[in-house]
Amino acid sequence: MSATRPRYAEEAPFKIHGGCGLAGICDESGKPMSGEQIILAMAVQRDRGNGLGGGFAGYGIYPEFPDHFAFHLMYHDEQAREETEALLAEHCIVDLAEPMPTRPVKGISDAPLLYRYFLKPLPGELERLEMSEEDLVVRLVMTINATVDGAFVASSGKNMGVFKGVGFPEEIGHFYRLEEYEGHTWTGHNRFPTNTPGWWGGAHPFALLDWTIVHNGEISSYGINSRYLEQFGYKCTLGTDTEVAAYLFDLMLRRHGLPLELACKALAAPLWTEIDRMPEGERELMRSLRAVYGPAMLNGPFAIILGFNGGMVALNDRIKLRPLVAARAGSVVIVASEEAAIRAVASEPDAVWMPKAGEPTVARVAGMPWPIHGDLHLSPAEVSCAVLGTEDVCDEAVEVSA
């Protein structure tokens, strides 16, 4: 490292308090839609941001590379790019590396170096390291973000990508030429920073593997959440509360194998007074869940959309302190901070509703593998088995009633 090269400081020296807007669109039939749709939904919510962050995630956008991990990288300078590419080459075969396609857009300036890589682990690398390809990718992402000065991994999943930066969402969308992409699921975010100043890597969505998070609110439990995640090898280096939500979903859904409903209940846990009034079996389960995942619970007001290959999930905090509206138009499920954003995409939806506090709204793409443990409740013993990572056979699962 050159002694004359100043350390990259991603955060600006000022911040402006406010709120955020978000949206998600999923065609459950799997029919691809242009990225222009999510841009329209976010442009309606322009007043929910201040130009310090906008971004999108798209799924199914790289059909020519369905089995490659698509790394979207941001670099402060060429030295950061060289160090990152050397690190990737140690563990992966990069079949394509190229600058991200962009266009000049009024309002977008000071963009970092933007590159994308389509890669797979080197032959024999997983056996040598004794880990899965997902764990290898997570380790690479954590290493790059924590140790390569001036480099940031925006996304790292298969057949998906994150496109974000400093600007209003519609400006960011056109900057990245999203109208040229097609995907079955899109999420978008308009940032109005509340705790950290705006910078390109700090815009939403935040991603790890296929998981992406867009978030409106303030997670006051960031400190305990990040310390809890560090026990499992995650490194929270980006200085934003939303980062922990992406890593917590990866931990619970992929590594611990929790059903989606239980993961949501762990993050937006029922109040103890509510748990005390539940039927005995459910009460025991919720008490066990809160005991095991207490440090993972998200405190504070929030509305989030989790995107993944196979669909999306929208979730409010347990007393719904941030707006979230949902709608269905045929096979398309839409969620947003405002109903106006929904009607910009579907002027006459079949149904519009307000999701209940702490209850997930799920869109699932037909014919795609469901990357989540299953639609089952777990017993208290199984919750313990999951978090301890034991191989023991747990108690019999109880099917969720329709």
Which residues are paired to 353 by β-bridges? 326
Q: What percent of the chain has pLDDT over 70?
A: 86
Tokens read off for 308: 């993944």
Residue 379 has pLDDT above 90, yes or no: no
Quote the pLDDT of residue 47.
86
Q: Which residues contact 265 (CB under 8 A, 6 or more apart)?
A: 286, 289, 358
pLDDT at 197: 65
Residue tagged active-site, from 20, 26, 236, 264: 20
Phi–psi pair at 312, nearest 5 degrees: -155, 160
pLDDT attached to residue 52: 80
Chain segment 109-127, per-residue pLDDT in tens: 999 999 999 999 999 999 9
For the entire predicted model, the pTM comes to 0.88
328-339 pLDDT, tens per residue? Answer: 999 999 999 999
Q: Identify the burial level of 143 via C-beta atoms within 10 angstroms of its C-beta, where 0-12 means exposed, 13-18 middle and 19 or more buried.
A: middle
Can you read off the two tokens belonging to residue 387?
């978090």
| Percentage of residues in the chain having pLDDT higher than 90 | 65
Is 64 a residue whose pLDDT tops 90? yes
d(CA 221, CA 210): 24
Class of domain 21-218+300-371: alpha beta
Distance between CA atoms of residues 198 and 76, nearest Å:
15
Average of pLDDT values for 375-390?
Answer: 53
Instruction: Provide the pLDDT confidence category of residue 136 given band limits of 50, 70 and 90.
Output: very high
**Which of 4-8, 177-181, 188-192, 266-270 shows the lowest mean pLDDT across its residues?**
4-8
Say yes or no to pLDDT of 384 above 60: no
- Report the C-alpha gap between 65 and 120 in whole angstroms: 11
Please report the pLDDT score of residue 396 as a whole number: 45
Out of 86-90, 95-99, 199-203, least confident range: 199-203
Average pLDDT, integer, range 284-301: 90
pLDDT tier at 383, thresholds 50, 70, 90: low
The pLDDT of residue 104: 95
User: 233-271 burial string, b = 16+ CB within 10 Å, else e?
Assistant: ebbbebebbbbbbbbbbbbbbbbbbbbbbbbbbbbbbbe
Per-residue pLDDT, 50: 82
- pLDDT at position 382 is 60
Q: Which residues contact 401 (CB under 8 A, 6 or more apart)?
A: none
In the predicted structure, residue 192 carries a pLDDT above the cut 90:
no
Mean pLDDT for the chain overall: 87
Identify whether 20 is a catalytic site residue.
yes
Residue 202 confidence class, pLDDT cut points 50, 70, 90: confident
Domain boundaries, the chain: 21-218+300-371
Cα within 13 Å of Cα(224), Cβ side: 12
What per-residue confidence (pLDDT) applies to 18?
45
Average pLDDT over every residue of 175-197: 87
* pLDDT of 306: 96
CA distance 97 to 289: 43
Residue from 33, 62, 236, 19 nearest 145 by CA: 236
Mean pLDDT for 345-359 is 93
103 and 174 in contact (C-beta within 8 Å)? yes
Longest CA span, the chain: 65
Q: Is the pLDDT of residue 296 over 80?
A: yes
